[in-house]
């Protein structure tokens, strides 16, 4: 069995979409995969309740209780590695995990660490992607699923979705349109990876 560990910081709607598709498409039988744990750096992340309601282990590691970024990442890496099985290292799926990761963490999970970012990378790395797209006058926006590499919001692209930016869009309306697409492309990207592995 190959475990998937999903990292969140907030609402966890991408995580929930992954859980629902994994259930609907029976990833356990098809790919020998299980979404085994959801971890959050914030105790009040809404997504934790959903994970628990689905019988998925939900763990909190509060980054504020660690002396440094390195110490937090090392502790997180240890928790994740508890889900490696003898046959397979766990796949680590960042889903709205709002932390910059240390090179040591990224190296440790290289080739099995994915992220979703709410822009058409390589445009608009970092924060406030929707507002920046509107302010730049973009006619299209979107989301990207990519492998995580040491450089923030970079790395080989696995999936993208494009949405129009409408004349009266606000940050919130554009974010909602993009998020709907995120819920489709993240499960699709992960299913493709599982198919190939």
Residues making contact with ligand GAR (CB under 6 A):
8, 10-14, 95-96, 116-118, 143, 179, 182
Q: CB nearer to ligand GAR: give 96 or 155.
A: 96
HSE (side-chain half, CA atoms, 13 Å) at 76: 34
Tokens read off for 66? 């660690």
Residue 84 phi, psi dihedral angles, 5° rounding: -65, 140
Q: How far is the CB of 125 from ligand GAR (least distance, A)?
A: 8
Helix axes 171-196, 13-24, angle to 10 degrees: 40
Q: How far is the CB of 94 from ligand GAR (least distance, A)?
A: 7
How many Å apart are CA 106 and CA 80, to the nearest integer?
A: 13
E strands, 9-131, are: 33-40, 57-60, 91-94, 113-117
**Alpha-helical runs (H) found in 68-170:** 69-81, 103-108, 129-135
Longest Cα pair distance anywhere in the chain, in angstroms? Answer: 53
Q: How far is the CB of 87 from ligand GAR (least distance, A)?
A: 29
Q: How far is the CB of 164 from ligand GAR (least distance, A)?
A: 17
Q: CB nearer to ligand GAR: give 120 or 143.
A: 143
- Cβ 179 vs Cβ 163: under 8 Å: no
Q: Would you give the distance in Å from CA 123 to the centre of its chain?
A: 18
Annotation marks residue 183 as catalytic: no
Nearest residue to ligand GAR by CB is: 96
Q: Which of 63, 88, 117, 183 is catalytic?
A: 117
Q: Which residues are catalytic?
A: 117
């Amino acid at each position: 069995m190959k475990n998937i560990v999903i990292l969140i910081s907030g609402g966890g709607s991408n995580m929930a979409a992954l859980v629902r598709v994994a259930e609907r498409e029976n990833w356990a039988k098809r790919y020998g995969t299980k979404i085994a744990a959801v971890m959050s750096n914030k105790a009040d992340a809404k997504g934790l309740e959903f994970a628990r309601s689905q019988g998925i282990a939900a763990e909190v590691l509060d980054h504020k209780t660690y002396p440094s970024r390195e110490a937090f990442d090392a502790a997180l890496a240890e928790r994740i590695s508890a889900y490696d099985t003898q046959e397979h290292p766990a796949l680590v799926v960042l889903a709205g995990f709002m932390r910059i990761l240390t090179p040591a963490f990224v190296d440790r999970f290289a080739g099995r660490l994915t992220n979703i970012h709410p822009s058409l990378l390589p445009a608009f790395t970092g924060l406030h992607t929707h507002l920046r797209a509107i302010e730049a006058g973009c006619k299209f926006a979107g989301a990207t699923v990519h492998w995580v590499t040491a450089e923030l919001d970079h790395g080989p692209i696995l999936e993208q979705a494009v949405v129009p930016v409408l004349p009266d869009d606000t940050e919130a309306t554009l974010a909602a349109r993009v998020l709907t697409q995120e819920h489709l492309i993240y499960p699709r990207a992960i299913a493709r990876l599982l198919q190939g592995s």
